[in-house]
């Protein structure tokens, strides 16, 4: 549609295509248009002058965001090799006016608009206006599954990879000097016209939007023609070219634009990086190889040789032995590969294959270096000082206003009641800021008790925090988004399991549901790879606390619970092995872990109950994650611990005790275990450790002895049987154990033993009253039952069952304490 | 060569447990040569494009179907073939069981029509195996002469412009390895005893294989390494690929061993492949849970032998259907190489991954039984 005659010259391009960029420059030189129109938000007309500024270094991006809601933002990234950038710079150098002609950001960012809402959580990952819809034109590899017209074109040319075809057909072509610079654009426009006919206008998910945008572009072109005459150039995605050339009435176009939702939008320049241009960083419409494209754009000649030399120098700097001979061989191999694959010129795939085979000895490790530093590249853009304030700062100011939390330099304490919405929001804000490194508030110990619904903060706003906010703005445009991104990044970067657990707790406090999945994933990964059971056991209690705490704050912690359950499983598998061969100190520490894990599992087990319940077949019930599954397996582990010879006595004793407390030791089994542990074959020191583990350093062990005469008699028998030489060895241990008991308990024990205690072997039954106590009077005992029922909320106060105390007994010791 | 001997050989060939690639796929090679109109490097039987097609499979214009010999990334094969067309030698690297030998054999068969110019690398491979030996009777009787010289496979390949193969290059002692340096850089093999040399004619190249996982290997000197382009053969990329490879090879092996046929083991094969992949990659198939990796390599080749063993078990002792119990013991043996560490890895995997997986109950139980 564009002869060299009067324009408008429609220059269809691929975004970030170096070949397109070169072609655009040549075409502009040839046509010398009176004005240049570029696909982009018209709001940016006001800041376009900055592009010529000395301090402006691409890659940069136009960032538009809704004034009231900085989370609604869109980026239009521009690299040095972007055709749009080339056109803008050319126009500014020549003093030719530049206009943006795409749909205003005010519309694209409007809530009723198409994709504004999916922006908030991930500002970098989405690009509604700039690139998303243009997949048809220039970014065929776009992650969004859609109709890909380019793929059809590539298939017609015999390519199975559309990207590859575009490279060969457009980007790698170096136009012969003296040719008509407009010819390639005409050919491309023709192809696109065919495609649009074949696929139909406005197909695909973005189709309707495309039509609206194109209507707007046509109107703007019309305006420009009136102002500058026909000799204007339009730089836009190739897909749009046929639509812009089509004749439509003004009225029809205006009709298409009617009633679009609108918000107040602000726009500015932000620095960008090659890394964020690349698809790896989640920028949906990005390109794979900004560094390679930059190289193609800048290399004056022999791009392949220059690239290989660059790669060789990079590898040499990292101490890989790469000689010029390698470069020669790599260039040859890349050339031959291209010939074998029937490509006109070695592309990135051939170059990468050659670098891998020749320079990297087939290894992907040095190759990753080349990929990272060269193919993507470390280029960081710069924006002049005059750039406007960051959206993050604006979002923060807005939150400060709405939460009535003024930044004051003077330090003051604030107390929040988390049951109130405003206070909860304030707490969240402060937690999020702390995650971002903006330490405005510092949590201090609450004076009003330890309730989980109360938080006390010391607030103090230092001037340098503004700088921190500016730094943090790289993470996102809102406090929420930035904190989420930062938390995710920190999770990935943290080395120790405990760090991640702490981070998970922090995420719950700051309420970052977006970051939680990533943190959980890292947590699960770290847990899976951490071979040290002690680490796992250390991490578990904090995690279980998070589960409980999340509950308090009415948050969905199912994922957390799952991870915790997984962690517990891993602990179970490794625990017995980890307990073997420990010295006294390590055994002592491990005994602490046994307790901690036991508590955690008890807390956790009800959590895991509902989700795994339905799948069990009766016979496999013990093996599966049935309600009691986790606890069941833990008690299995405890059973192993209690019964295995060679483990430290303290651990075995503790395990036996925990089983006994849970009522999982069958009648007499506790006594048998104790008998085994205390029999003469056992080293006295180990036996004493067992007793310490079993009876605990707390007070409850004493009560146990008072109430179970058989155990007492076992201890008694063992103690009197210890040879005098060994007795001095075990005395400190025993003293440590028994001195922790309440004086009353100690006295009772002493009396029992002096009375001849349980009278030798005349054991009546476990749980029998000590001999010194008067026998139980059932009548008097029954009198407390109604009150007990009332306390426990049992429904049947008038139940005729006289044996009711039976089921209640297990709970009474706990209740008594 | 007398006719009877040749006849005997060809009979032996059809009876052979494992015929050479150029014989097993003679038909395909012939069809490819007929259809191939692209330029061929000197003394190549096929063009590089046709060699790549021979390995990767495809359909020729005349309708001949070329079976894929190598299931894997196209890139790998293309780089390998292209390397052979340059004057650099090719080094195929990879963990055990990634079809290095298989690829090298088929490459040699397709390029030179002969895959038998082979030096098998062992810890005891002498220099003579790579260069040349002597016919000592003749040497003593007539003194050193060309007639008394017994050329090695590499020397023959040089003289005839063929492709030579060196298997397990890293098992060969380092000083013997370095014999290859002159051959690969100068393309000559001096015979100082005769004051002569053998110069490689066009078409000569060398394919070496080595694995980077085994213990007790002799690493290549960097001087030798520089003479090679290295291609790493990856483990199968997708579970589907791997299931495909395993079931195809199991089928072939089963037939050559005359195992009674067992119907429909695909589910069990898929399960074995899944277990191997998950443990090898250190992450579950859905990509959501990480697991520890055991010390063994868990290659596709091992998956194949586990399934073959399971089939034999099912056919001879079981009910003729491949069940979880038939492969469980094999898997345990493949995974647990180091009795202490690997057992823990395996149990953890069983408890955290297998137990909760839908429809894997029987497998879990079978594994628990053999692990206990």
Model confidence pLDDT, tens digit, residues A531-584:
778 888 888 887 887 777 665 555 566 777 777 888 888 888 888 888 877 888
Distance of CA A273 to the CA centre of its chain: 22
A363 → chain B, closest CA residue: B232
Q: Which two tokens stand for residue B305?
A: 């032998």
List, in sequence order, every residue forming a beta bridge with B166; answer none if it has no partner.
B119, B208
Q: Do residues A277 and A270 lie in contact, with contact meaning Cβ atoms separated by under 8 Å?
A: no
d(Cα A199, Cα A190) in Å, to the nearest integer? 14
- Residue B118's pLDDT band (boundaries 50, 70, 90)? very high
Q: HSE, CB side, 13 Å, CA atoms: give it for residue A442.
A: 8
Element (H, E) at A251: helix A250-257
How far apart (Å, rounded) are the C-alpha atoms in residues B369 and A506? Answer: 43
- Cβ atoms of residues B312 and B254 within 8 Å: no
Instruction: Mark whether B88 and B161 lie in a shared domain.
Output: yes
pLDDT grade for A771, boundaries at 50, 70 and 90: very low
Closest CA to B366 of B322, B316, B315: B322
Apex CA A18: angle with CA A17 and CA A24, to 5°?
90
Question: Same domain for B183 and B332?
Answer: no
Higher pLDDT, A322 or A384: A322
Residue A115 — very low, low, confident or very high, per pLDDT cuts 50/70/90?
Answer: very low
CA distance B44 to chain A (A): 15
B87 close contact with A: CB closer than 8 A: no
> Coil, strand, or helix at residue A267?
strand
DSSP A619: G
Q: Does the pLDDT of residue A617 top 60, yes or no?
A: no
Q: Which residues in chain B touch residue A630, judged by CB atoms under 8 angstroms apart?
A: none
Number of domains in chain B: 2
Chain B residues with CB-CB distance to A523 below 8 A: none
| Number of neighbouring beta carbons within 10 Å of residue B28 | 19
End-of-domain residue from the set B207, B232, B257: B232
Q: Which two tokens stand for residue A355?
A: 């670098």
**Rounded distance, CA A247 to CA B211, Å?**
66
CB-based contact, A398 to chain B, within 8 Å: no
What is the distance between the alpha carbons of residues B270 and B254, in angstroms, rounded to a whole number?
Answer: 17
Same domain for B321 and B257: yes
Coarse DSSP helix, strand, coil percentages of chain B, rounded to the nearest 5 percent: 50, 10, 40
| Residues facing residue A98 across a β-bridge | A36
A427, A506 contact by CB (below 8 A): no
Contact between chains at B364 and A623 (C-beta distance less than 8 A): yes
The whole-number pLDDT of residue B264 equals 64
Alpha helices in chain B (DSSP H): 3-15, 21-24, 26-35, 48-56, 74-85, 100-112, 127-130, 136-142, 153-160, 174-177, 179-185, 222-225, 239-256, 266-281, 300-316, 324-335, 341-349, 361-371
Pair (B186, B152) in one structural domain = yes
Nearest CA to CA, how far is B279 from chain A (Å)?
A: 12
Report helix, strand or coil for A486. helix
Q: For A776-790, what is the mean pLDDT?
A: 81
Local confidence band at A311 (pLDDT 50, 70, 90 cut-offs): very high
Contacts of A142 (CB under 8 A, 6+ apart): A131, A132, A135, A148, A284, A285
A532 touches chain B (CB under 8 A): no
pLDDT of res. B137: 93
The 3-state secondary structure of A108-135 reads: HCCCCCCCHHHCCCCCCCCCCCCCHHHH
Instruction: Inspect the interface and report whether the beta carbons of A353 and B289 lie closer than 8 Å.
Output: no
Average pLDDT score over residue span A432-440: 86
Identify whether residues B179 and B213 lie together within a single domain: yes
- Picking from B232, B259, B283, the residue at the C-terminal end of a domain is B232
Q: Are residues B299 and B359 in the same domain?
A: yes
Are B109 and B145 in a shared domain? yes
Is B301 found in the same domain as B174?
no
What is the mean predicted confidence (pLDDT) over A221-250?
A: 85
B residues 219-258 lying closer than 8 A (beta carbon) to A: 222, 225-226, 229-232
Query: Which of A76, A480, A13 is closest to A293 using CA atoms?
Result: A13
How high is the pLDDT of residue A240?
Answer: 84
pLDDT of A661 reads: 78
Closest Cβ opposite residue A357 in set B230, B292, B365: B230
CA dist A485 → A285, A520, A665, B108 (Å) = 19, 14, 50, 53
Cβ pair A476, A403 in contact under 8 A: no
Q: Which residue has the higher pLDDT, B16 or A626?
A: B16
Q: What is the pLDDT of residues A36-65, one digit of tens each?
A: 999 888 888 888 888 888 778 888 888 777
| Torsion region of A509: left, alpha or beta (phi above 0 gives left; psi -120 to 50 gives alpha) | alpha
The chain A residue lying nearest B85, using CA atoms, is A336
Q: Which of B189, B209, B232 is the last residue of a domain?
A: B232
Buried b (16+ CB within 10 A) or exposed e, A405-440: beeeeeeeebebebeeeebbbbbbbbbbbbbbebeb
Nearest by Cα to B309 from B253, B367, B365, B372 = B253
Q: What is the mean pLDDT of residues A452-475?
A: 72
Question: What value does the mean pLDDT take over residues A310-316?
Answer: 91
Mean pLDDT over B156-182 rounds to 91
Integer Cα distance of A770 and A722 in angstroms: 25
Beta carbons within 10 angstroms of residue A197's beta carbon: 10
- Give yes or no for residue A815 having a pLDDT over 90: no
For residue A619, pLDDT beyond 60: no
**What is A742-779 written as a DSSP string?**
-HHHHHHHHHHHHTTTTTTT----TTPPPTTSPPP-HH
Rounded to 10 degrees, the C-alpha dihedral B354/B356/B362/B367 comes to: 30
Contact with chain B for residue A731, Cβ under 8 A: no
- Residue where the block lists tokens 């939702």: A261
Which residues partner with A441 through β-bridges?
A459
Q: How far apart are CA A293 and CA A290, in angstroms?
A: 5
Each residue's pLDDT tens digit, B236-264: 888 888 888 888 778 777 776 666 666 66
d(CA A220, CA A39): 11
CB contact under 8 A, A363 and B289: no
- In the predicted structure, residue B280 carries a pLDDT above the cut 70: yes
B327 and B360, same domain (yes or no): yes
**More confident position, A252 or B6:** A252
pLDDT of residue A123: 31
Same structural domain, B145 and B208: yes
B115 and B71 fall within a common domain: yes
CB contact under 8 A, B289 and A524: yes
Q: How far is residue A632's CA from residue B372's CA, in Å, rounded to a whole number?
A: 19
Which CATH number belongs to the domain containing residue B70 in this structure? 3.40.50.300
Print the domain residue range for B332.
Answer: 239-371
Count contacts between A and B (CB, < 8 Å). Answer: 98
Task: Scan for tokens 């589960």, then name that residue.
Answer: A547
Cβ proximity of B366 and B325 under 8 Å: yes
Picking from B93, B290, B364, the nearest residue to A525 by CB comes out as B290
Cβ A310 vs Cβ A320: under 8 Å: no
Q: What is the mean pLDDT of residues A461-478?
A: 70
Task: Look at A325 and B352 and tell me if their CB atoms are within 8 Å.
Answer: no
**Cβ within 8 Å, pair A361-B288:** no
The residue behind tokens 């290295």 is B230
ipTM value greater than 0.90: no
Indicate whether B251 and B222 sit together in one domain. Answer: no
Q: Tell me if A326 and B48 make a contact (CB, 8 A cut-off).
A: no
């Amino acid at each position: 549609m564009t002869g060299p005659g009067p324009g408008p010259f429609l220059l269809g391009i691929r975004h970030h295509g170096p070949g397109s960029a070169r072609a655009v420059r040549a075409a502009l030189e040839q046509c010398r248009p009176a004005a240049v129109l570029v696909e982009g938000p018209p709001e940016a007309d006001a800041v376009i002058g900055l592009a010529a500024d000395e301090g402006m270094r691409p890659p940069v991006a136009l960032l538009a965001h809704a004034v009231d809601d900085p989370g609604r933002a869109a980026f239009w990234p521009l690299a040095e090799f972007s055709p749009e950038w080339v056109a803008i710079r050319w126009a500014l150098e020549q003093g030719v006016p530049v206009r943006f002609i795409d749909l205003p950001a005010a519309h694209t960012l409007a809530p009723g608009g198409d994709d504004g809402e999916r922006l908030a959580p991930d500002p970098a990952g989405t690009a509604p206006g700039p690139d998303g819809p243009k997949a048809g034109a220039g970014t065929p590899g776009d992650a969004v599954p859609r109709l890909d017209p380019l793929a059809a074109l590539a298939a017609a040319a015999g390519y199975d990879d559309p990207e590859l075809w575009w490279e060969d057909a457009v980007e790698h072509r170096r136009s012969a000097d003296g040719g008509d610079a407009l010819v390639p654009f005409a050919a491309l426009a023709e192809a696109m016209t065919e495609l649009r006919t074949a696929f139909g206008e406005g197909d695909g998910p973005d189709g309707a939007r495309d039509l609206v945008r194109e209507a707007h572009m046509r109107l703007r072109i019309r305006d420009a023609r009136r102002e500058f005459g026909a000799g204007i150039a339009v730089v836009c995605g190739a897909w749009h070219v046929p639509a812009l050339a089509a004749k439509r009435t003004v009225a029809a176009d205006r009709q298409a634009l009617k009633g679009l939702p609108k918000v107040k939008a602000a726009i500015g320049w932000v620095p960008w990086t090659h890394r964020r241009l690349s698809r790896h960083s989640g920028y949906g419409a990005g390109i794979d190889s900004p560094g390679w494209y930059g190289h193609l754009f800048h290399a004056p000649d022999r791009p392949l040789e220059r690239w290989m030399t660059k790669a060789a120098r990079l590898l040499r700097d990292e101490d890989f032995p790469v000689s010029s001979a390698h470069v020669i061989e790599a260039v040859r191999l890349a050339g031959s590969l291209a010939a074998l694959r029937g490509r006109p010129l070695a592309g990135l795939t051939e170059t990468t294959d050659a670098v891998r085979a020749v320079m990297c000895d087939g290894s992907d490790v040095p190759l990753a270096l080349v990929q990272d530093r060269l193919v993507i590249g470390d280029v960081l853009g710069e924006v002049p000082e005059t750039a406007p304030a960051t959206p993050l700062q604006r979002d923060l100011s807005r939150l400060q206003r709405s939460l009535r939390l003024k930044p004051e330099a003077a330090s003051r304490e604030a107390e929040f009641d988390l049951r109130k919405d405003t206070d909860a929001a304030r707490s969240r804000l402060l937690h999020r800021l702390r995650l971002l490194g903006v330490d405005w508030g510092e949590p201090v110990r609450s004076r009003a008790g330890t309730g989980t619904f109360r938080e006390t903060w010391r607030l103090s706003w230092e001037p340098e925090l503004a700088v921190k906010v500016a730094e943090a703005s790289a993470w996102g445009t809102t406090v929420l988004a930035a904190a989420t991104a930062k938390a995710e990044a920190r999770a990935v970067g943290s080395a120790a399991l405990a760090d991640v657990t702490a981070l998970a707790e922090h995420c719950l406090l700051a309420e970052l549901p977006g970051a939680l999945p990533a943190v959980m994933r890292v947590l699960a990964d770290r847990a899976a790879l951490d071979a040290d059971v002690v680490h796992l056991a250390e991490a578990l209690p904090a995690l279980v606390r998070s589960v409980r705490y999340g509950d308090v704050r009415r948050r969905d912690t199912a994922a957390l619970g799952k991870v915790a359950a997984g962690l517990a499983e891993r602990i179970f598998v490794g625990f017995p092995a980890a307990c073997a061969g420990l010295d006294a100190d390590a055994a002592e520490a491990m005994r602490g872990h046994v307790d901690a894990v036991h508590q955690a599992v008890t807390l956790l087990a009800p959590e895991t109950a509902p989700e795994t319940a339905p799948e069990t077949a009766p016979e496999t019930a013990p093996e599966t994650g049935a309600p009691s599954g986790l606890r069941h397996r833990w008690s299995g582990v405890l059973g192993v611990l209690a019964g295995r010879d060679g483990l430290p006595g303290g651990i075995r004793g503790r395990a036996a005790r925990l089983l006994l407390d849970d009522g999982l030791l069958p009648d007499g089994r506790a006594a048998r275990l104790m008998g085994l542990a205390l029999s003469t074959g056992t080293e006295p020191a180990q036996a004493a450790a067992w007793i310490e583990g079993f009876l605990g350093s707390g007070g409850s062990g004493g009560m146990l002895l008072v109430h179970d005469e058989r155990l007492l008699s076992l201890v008694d028998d063992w103690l009197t049987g210890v040879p005098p030489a060994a007795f001095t060895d075990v005395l400190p241990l025993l003293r440590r154990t028994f001195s922790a008991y309440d004086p009353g308990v100690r006295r009772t024990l002493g009396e029992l033993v002096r009375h001849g205690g349980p009278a030798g072997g005349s054991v009546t039954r476990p749980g029998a009253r000590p001999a010194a106590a008067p026998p139980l009077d059932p009548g008097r005992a029954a009198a407390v039952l109604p009150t007990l029922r009332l306390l426990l909320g049992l429904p049947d106060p008038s139940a005729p069952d006289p044996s009711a105390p039976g089921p209640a007994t297990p709970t009474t010791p706990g209740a008594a304490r | 060569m007398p006719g009877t001997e040749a006849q005997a050989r060809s009979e032996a060939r059809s009876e052979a447990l494992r015929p050479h690639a150029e014989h097993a796929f003679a038909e395909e090679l012939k069809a490819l040569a007929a259809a191939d109109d692209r330029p061929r490097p000197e003394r190549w039987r096929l063009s590089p494009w046709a060699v790549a097609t021979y390995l990767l499979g495809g359909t020729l214009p005349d309708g001949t179907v070329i079976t894929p010999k190598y299931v894997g990334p196209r890139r790998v094969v293309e780089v390998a073939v292209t390397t052979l067309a340059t004057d650099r030698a090719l080094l195929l690297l990879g963990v055990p069981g990634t079809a290095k030998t298989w690829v090298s054999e088929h490459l040699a068969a397709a390029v030179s029509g002969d895959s038998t110019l082979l030096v098998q690398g062992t810890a005891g491979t002498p220099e003579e195996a790579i260069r040349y030996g002597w016919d000592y009777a003749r040497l003593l009787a007539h003194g050193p002469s060309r007639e008394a010289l017994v050329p090695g496979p590499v020397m023959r390949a040089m003289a005839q412009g063929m492709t030579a193969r060196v298997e397990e290059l890293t098992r060969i002692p380092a000083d013997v390895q370095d014999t290859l340096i002159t051959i690969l850089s100068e393309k000559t093999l001096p015979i100082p005893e005769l004051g002569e040399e053998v110069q490689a004619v066009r078409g000569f190249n060398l394919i070496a294989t080595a694995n980077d996982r085994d213990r007790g290997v002799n690493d290549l000197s960097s001087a030798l390494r520089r003479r090679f382009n290295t291609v790493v053969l990856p483990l199968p990329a997708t579970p589907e690929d791997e299931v495909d490879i395993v079931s195809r090879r199991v089928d072939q092996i089963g037939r050559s061993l005359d195992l009674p046929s067992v119907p429909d083991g695909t589910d069990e094969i898929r399960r074995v492949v899944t277990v191997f992949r998950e443990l090898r990659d250190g992450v579950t198939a859905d990509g959501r849970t990480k697991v520890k990796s055991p010390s063994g390599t868990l290659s596709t080749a091992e998956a194949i032998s586990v399934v073959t063993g399971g089939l034999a078990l099912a056919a001879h002792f079981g009910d003729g259907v491949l069940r979880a119990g038939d492969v469980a013991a094999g898997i345990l043996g493949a995974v647990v190489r180091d009795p202490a560490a690997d057992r823990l890895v395996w149990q953890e995997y069983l408890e955290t991954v297998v137990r909760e997986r839908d429809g894997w109950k029987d497998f879990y139980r079978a594994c628990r039984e053999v692990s206990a």
